[in-house]
Amino acid sequence: MSIPLASPTSTTPDIMDELRRATASSHAGLERALESSGLLSGPPGGALLERFYGFHAAWEPAMAAGLGDDALFEPRRRLALLEADLHDLGRTPAELARLPRCIAAAGLAAAPHGSLYVLEGATLGGQVIRRRLHARGTPCPRYFNPYGAATGAMWSALKARLRGATTMEGRAAMTAAAVATFELLHDWLRPVLGEAHDRAA
Ligand code: HEM
């Protein structure tokens, strides 16, 4: 008697579940650190946005090259939004040019889909931040709400893309890049989170 073979889809876990599971503790750690810093509970002071600026300034060019897909990545760039947010807070272009860059973020583009998962997921947390600030009558920085009403659609489109990308970027490489992205981002933000900072330059 022949034993029916299970179809690959019945045994292969969804990459989205794998990514969420692999990064759950990193997400919780970063979320906790952001919450306890108090940086997300009032009007943005600029220090956190400056740090995100330094991250995106190094990450975005490398990601654009690594993905090689402008249709996917161009609408997901957020450096210009950070520039506009920081401009609103009085930062000049010369001051932005002097901000430190997270050079190591460029290395994350070696497995770009895994890294994109993390920064795109932050737009979901951004909705929590947007609602909280709105309830206090404080405008939300553009950075935390890049897509407005299209947030859900952008996330759904990325999920479809990530599920299709597992053949070009191995599943292990994708989840490792997602974990590495969380770790580097957390390290990079530590100076403004008020936590000890001993890993990222
Ligand atoms: C830079 C900081 C953050 C990053 C990089 C980040 C990253 C992520 C990622 C990757 C996801 C997708 C999880 C999945 O696979 O479904 C996610 C979802 C989410 N995050 Fe964050 N996050 C950040 C900060 C926050 C903060 C501060 C909050 C809360 C205030 C938060 C709340 C959420 C919520 C509510 C979801 C949606 C969960 C769901 O709908 O299933 N995140 N975030």
Q: Atom 29, ligand 1: which residue's CA is nearest?
A: 125
Three-state SS at 190: helix
The answer to whether 77 touches 60, Cβ cutoff 8 Å, is yes
pTM: 0.91
Tokens of 89: 């807070």
The reply to whether ligand 1 has any atom less than 6 angstroms from the CB of 31 is: yes
100: CA distance to ligand 1 center in Å? 25
The Cα–Cα gap between 91 and 84 comes to 9
Q: Does some domain include residue 20?
A: no
The answer to whether 63 touches 120, Cβ cutoff 8 Å, is no
The Cα–Cα gap between 86 and 19 comes to 32
Which tens digit of pLDDT belongs to each residue from 184-193?
999 999 999 9
Q: Does some domain include residue 200?
A: no
Which tens digit of pLDDT belongs to each residue from 70-98?
999 999 999 999 999 999 999 999 999 99
Q: Does some domain include residue 201?
A: no
For residue 197, name the pLDDT band (cuts at 50, 70, 90).
low
CA-CA distances (angstroms) from residue 131 to 46, 137, 140, 153, 167?
19, 10, 8, 18, 37
Per-residue model confidence (pLDDT) at position 10: 55
Q: Atom 32, ligand 1: which residue's CA is nearest?
A: 125
Q: How many domains in the chain?
A: 1
Tokens of 39: 């940086």
Q: Does some domain include residue 14?
A: no
Q: Does some domain include residue 18?
A: no
The Cα–Cα gap between 158 and 136 comes to 31
Alpha carbon dihedral 74, 78, 83, 88, in 10-degree steps, equals 120
Which range of residues forms the domain containing residue 60? 43-193
CATH code for the domain in which residue 161 is found:
1.20.910.10
Per-residue model confidence (pLDDT) at position 194: 85
Quickly tell me which residue has 């906790």 as its tokens: 32
4: CA distance to ligand 1 center in Å? 40
Mean pLDDT estimate for the chain: 92
